[in-house]
Structure 1
Amino acid sequence: MSTSNAVPSTGSAPGEAPLTLAEPPAPVLGLRDTFGLWANLGVSLLLPVAAVFVVLPGRPLSTTLGAIVVGAVIGATLLGLAAAAGARERVPTMVLLRGLLGRRASALPTAVNLVQCVGWATFEIVIIAEAASRALDAPRWPFVLAAGVLATAMALRPLGVARVLARYAVWAALAAVVYLFVNVLAEPLPPLTDGAATSFWTAADIVIALPVSWFPLVADYTRHARSARAAGVGAGLGYGLATIVMFTLGVVALAAYGSAGFDVIDALLAVPLGALAVLVLVTVELDEAFANVYSTAVSAQNLVARADRRLLAVGVGAVATLLALTFDIAAYEPFLFLIGAVFVPLAGVLLVAYATTPRGAWDTSDTAPARPLFLLPWAAGFLAYQLTLPTYFAGPGAGWTAWWSARQADLGIDPANGWSASLVGLAVAVGLTALVCLPGVLRRRRTAA
């Protein structure tokens, strides 16, 4: 059961995303559109900037590249499965969670996602402005304003923007990335000595986090897909391939130029016509900011179903732009990864519960009953994640890291265990969810027999 049984409104343009949850979504995105959209969303300057965190210093380059591929496959598979579920139910992700937790309890992940989306929108605006100001040797603040205004404007017509990104922008991004790869690979690649990953699985963990960070947003778009297959294959394959490409670009740039973090951008600017290629990627980066602004508005509609998403998007865009102008988003980054740790186990809980629920019985209506048992595997997965690898905070938030480190000591867990926190959290969440679902599955089988 979905929210599409409400009386349709005529407020939205034909073939465009509905203005409220009272309108049914338009199934206008095919496999090509979905693949192009998610490949474009995966082409982000955030990935090469963060590549230093996946590098295994003193290990062969092939080991780091292997961790990138493994992490991308795991994360993109989870993303694709959630995308397919959203396409079948024709609802945004936060509304999809009504079928898991119930109408009222779905407000909990919705509130967390609102914080996450505003934070990532702000972070993307900062990255766009930083890269553009370095490429053009100009002050940063005008680019912050321009990026905020453009991302907000794009969020007003999201499906039209998605089709443009899929058909045109993805090719411009591909050309820029190929050009940068050719120039970077022309340099000698000495052994990597700088890097923050301590094991193969901690490196893969960073890569897994990127596709899974889109899990709370994916159905906001794939509810408009023509089929679950187009949604799942397009989102998973498109974002997975882009993740591999962009992390690899960052790693080889680090090897070639010895640059990490935002200095990677300076290194790419140094190649012939590098400024032009980076500016193309800066323009393409707008889609990440737009997607976060739009999804903040759509997520909010799970709480206020009849609110106009356009008004919500304008408010969100204004807040994200203001934060990008006044806030040190780098200090906020650990909180964003902490929120990501919340959604990794939740993805596992949702996918197991959805797979074991009979087709057509997933209730996303306003009267969806509470299912508090599913809060337990979600919470257990988050606890397992933090006990494996506590989210690192410095300064005022250091107490969080210290508390979880003390709990590791109490349980005899080696802080340098080298495990993947994402996979441990997922395994705990999936296993406990399977136990919660098992009685219902056995009961249905007995009834069928």
Structure 2
Amino acid sequence: MSDTWTKGPDPAGGSGLDRTRRLGVEQTGIEIIDEADRTAKPSDLFWPWFAANVSVFGISYGSFVLGFGISFWQAALVTVVGVVFSFALCGVIAIAGKRGSAPTMVLSRAAFGVNGQKVPGVVSWLVSIGWETFLAILAVLATATIFDQLGWAAGTTTKVVATVVVAALIVSASVAGYHVIMKMQSWLTWITGIATLVYVALTLDEVRWSQISSIPDGSAQQMVGALVMLMTGFGLGWINIAADWSRYQKRSSLGAAIVGWNTFGGAIAPVLLVLFGLLLAGSSPDLSAGIVDDPIGTLGTLLPTWFLVPFLLAAILALVSGAVLGIYSSGLTLLSLGVRIPRPAAAFVDGMILTLGTIWVVFFAEDFLGPFQSFLITLGVPLAAWAGIMIADIALRKRDYDDAALFDASGRYGSFDWVSIGTMVVASVLGWGLVVNNFAADAAWNNWQGFLISPFGLGTYVDDPAGPYWEGNWAYANLGVLLALVLSFVVTLLARRAKVRGQETGA
């Protein structure tokens, strides 16, 4: 039995795109995109990925990277490698969208089984909802900070208005769907891109090369830690939704072109922004320390008063742009889990969850951001394990997906693929054993992670009254993310080769 949401026959006829043009809202849910609607070309992928990642918030990562204790040139190297490689992995996942013309988590059924896919599906939904709520929170808090710098009212009323505006933008665009979002992202690309270039021009005189060049080199372990942080903060943070934006691609689109445009669109802005952030953070230890506590507000302190409002608008729009992609996709993931409502309703539900989460953190929570981020980082390990499995599955397949079988538990993909599920579970457990809770003081309940670090001689846990921490060069390298990604990829490539061949030949 199919689990797609069926709306009944369209009385006016036409494809899904025709219905969207009439109603103004995309009606297509997790079902296969009509052949007539597959009109996108690979270069179209540039706009959503660039718009969602051309944010002044990316500059703040310069401080985070240098915080690992490495030099500017070491930081520059891991920035280019980490950001580009992680978005290239998104590009590989995007190939599945072209082959199957369905959302990422539906295509994941080929690897996990039609019902088994719900295991990574729940993780994906939580990650998407969580990170996009975090972006919305940053947008609201940034508004209050900039208003305070301007000497305007920055109290409860400002936060209420900011919350309403940010939530309305995110929810309305997510409900409208793919075609409206693609148009919106093309406009946001120019707005946020130009504003970011102006920011760079206005703050270039803050760069002090003598201070930057005096930063000593760090160890290889510290470089690995920075690399993993960059990968998870950029490409791996989007990887569970990558095929959602390529499912409208023409069947004739080249896989290499999809990977290329996906990587270029996603990586070009973060690479340049983080590199500039390294220059700013390396020039001023005080600025670097302030960014850790209040990224956007601290970056705003470098600006003349006349540019604070355009800076605020650009920062908010960039954060909203990223949140829109996430909430749209989280709605599709919700449908893939078996919730039988129309796609716009699913996006609205997730948008309301985002709104309530933002309200709770901004107005009521006394100590939430630390535990919240700790929870999301923890979910990054199983997400990396899923990504390794999915990438290997895509590499093994030579043909397009069997559309009908993606919705039929008795079809060629089956109900549960226990090899994939077992691989994800084992890789996640081992991965959790090699990561640490970066918010140990705020989220003590999450200090169970890192249980393999001491046995493997990679570090020592210190339960200091002032706050627990780890000693050792490898402790904060977060090797567990790389382990989960690589281990699941290799196991899938070897253990499922024959099964994938049988699925494609019908054996």
Taking structure 2 as the reference length, the TM-score comes to 0.79
Tell me if structure 2 keeps the 8 A contact 1:385–1:424.
Answer: yes
Query: 1:380 aligned to 426, 429, 434, which one?
Result: 426
1:419 to partner: Cα distance: 6.6
Give the RMSD, CA atoms, in angstroms: 3.3
1:220 to partner: Cα distance: 1.7
Show the counterpart of 2:239: 215
Task: Spell out, residue by residue over 1:199-236, the C-alpha distance to the aligned partner (whole angstroms, 9 max, x if none).
Answer: 11110111111211111112222112233545432222
Structure 1 pair 56/114, CA: closer, same or farther in 2 (3 Å)?
closer
Show the counterpart of 2:151: none
Task: Please list every run of 5 or more consecutive structure 2 residues that lacks an aligned counterpart in the other structure.
Answer: 11-15, 149-153, 362-367, 460-471
Tell me if structure 2 keeps the 8 A contact 1:3–1:364.
Answer: no
Q: Aligned partner of 2:473: which letter?
A: A
Percent of residue pairs bearing the same amino acid type: 20
Show the counterpart of 2:349: 315
Return the alpha-carbon distance in structure 2 between the equivalents of residues 206 and 319 of structure 1.
27
Query: 2:94 aligned to 77, 80, 83, which one?
Result: 83
1:51 to partner: Cα distance: 3.7
Show the counterpart of 1:152: 171
Task: Spell out, residue by residue over 1:349-369, the C-alpha distance to the aligned partner (whole angstroms, 9 max, x if none).
Answer: 111122213413554223240
Show the counterpart of 2:450: 405
Task: Spell out, residue by residue over 1:293-320, the C-alpha distance to the aligned partner (whole angstroms, 9 max, x if none).
Answer: 2112111111236421111222221221
Return the alpha-carbon distance in structure 2 between the equivalents of residues 399 and 303 of structure 1.
28
Return the alpha-carbon distance in structure 2 between the equivalents of residues 38 and 188 of structure 1.
29
1:250 to partner: Cα distance: 3.0
Which range moves more in the overlay, 19-28 or 114-123? Answer: 19-28
Show the counterpart of 1:233: 260
SS at match of 1:410: coil
Which range moves more in the overlay, 42-51 or 369-378? Answer: 42-51
Return the alpha-carbon distance in structure 1 between the equivalents of residues 479 and 453 of structure 2.
15
1:130 to partner: Cα distance: 1.5
Task: Please list every run of 5 or more consecutive structure 1 residues that lacks an aligned counterpart in the other structure.
Answer: none
Is 1:125 matched with 2:157? Answer: no
Return the alpha-carbon distance in structure 2 between the equivalents of residues 330 and 28 of structure 1.
43
Show the counterpart of 2:337: 303
Tell me if structure 2 keeps the 8 A contact 1:35–1:237.
Answer: yes
Query: 1:280 aligned to 308, 314, 336, which one?
Result: 314
Show the counterpart of 2:28: 19
Which range moves more in the overlay, 43-52 or 114-123? Answer: 43-52
Show the counterpart of 2:364: none
Structure 1 pair 293/394, CA: closer, same or farther in 2 (3 Å)?
same
Query: 1:255 aligned to 282, 287, 295, which one?
Result: 282
Show the counterpart of 1:371: 417
Show the counterpart of 1:206: 229
Task: Spell out, residue by residue over 1:37-66, the C-alpha distance to the aligned partner (whole angstroms, 9 max, x if none).
Answer: 101111235433444321156643121111
Tell me if structure 2 keeps the 8 A contact 1:268–1:274.
Answer: no
Tell me if structure 1 keeps the 8 A contact 2:72–2:215.
Answer: no
Show the counterpart of 1:331: 371
Query: 2:201 aligned to 182, 188, 200, which one?
Result: 182
Structure 1 pair 177/351, CA: closer, same or farther in 2 (3 Å)?
same
Query: 1:349 aligned to 384, 389, 395, which one?
Result: 389
Return the alpha-carbon distance in structure 1 between the equivalents of residues 197 and 378 of structure 2.
33
Tell me if structure 2 keeps the 8 A contact 1:21–1:301.
Answer: yes
Query: 1:416 aligned to 427, 448, 473, which one?
Result: 473
Q: Aligned partner of 2:94: which letter?
A: A
SS at match of 2:47: helix
Q: Aligned partner of 2:375: which letter?
A: F
Tell me if structure 2 keeps the 8 A contact 1:20–1:307.
Answer: no
Tell me if structure 2 keeps the 8 A contact 1:122–1:329.
Answer: no
Structure 1 pair 171/262, CA: closer, same or farther in 2 (3 Å)?
farther
Query: 1:161 aligned to 180, 204, 225, which one?
Result: 180
Is 1:48 matched with 2:59? Answer: yes
Q: Aligned partner of 1:376: which letter?
A: G
1:332 to partner: Cα distance: 0.2
Task: Spell out, residue by residue over 1:405-433, the C-alpha distance to the aligned partner (whole angstroms, 9 max, x if none).
Answer: 34322343445324744333222112211
Q: Aligned partner of 1:43: which letter?
A: V
Structure 1 pair 57/383, CA: closer, same or farther in 2 (3 Å)?
closer
Return the alpha-carbon distance in structure 1 between the equivalents of residues 44 and 346 of structure 2.
25
| Structure of greater Rg | 2
SS at match of 1:261: helix
1:53-72 matches, within 5 Å, as: 53-55=64-66, 59-72=70-83
Is 1:134 matched with 2:153? Answer: no
SS at match of 2:386: helix
1:8 to partner: Cα distance: 7.8
SS at match of 1:199: helix
Tell me if structure 2 keeps the 8 A contact 1:72–1:208.
Answer: yes
Structure 1 pair 341/58, CA: closer, same or farther in 2 (3 Å)?
closer
Q: Aligned partner of 2:419: which letter?
A: L
Show the counterpart of 2:248: 224
Aligned length: 446
Q: Aligned partner of 2:387: which letter?
A: A
Structure 1 pair 56/364, CA: closer, same or farther in 2 (3 Å)?
same
Taking structure 1 as the reference length, the TM-score comes to 0.88
Is 1:437 matched with 2:496? Answer: yes
1:292 to partner: Cα distance: 1.9
Tell me if structure 1 keeps the 8 A contact 2:93–2:391.
Answer: yes
Query: 2:400 aligned to 345, 352, 360, which one?
Result: 360
Show the counterpart of 2:299: 268
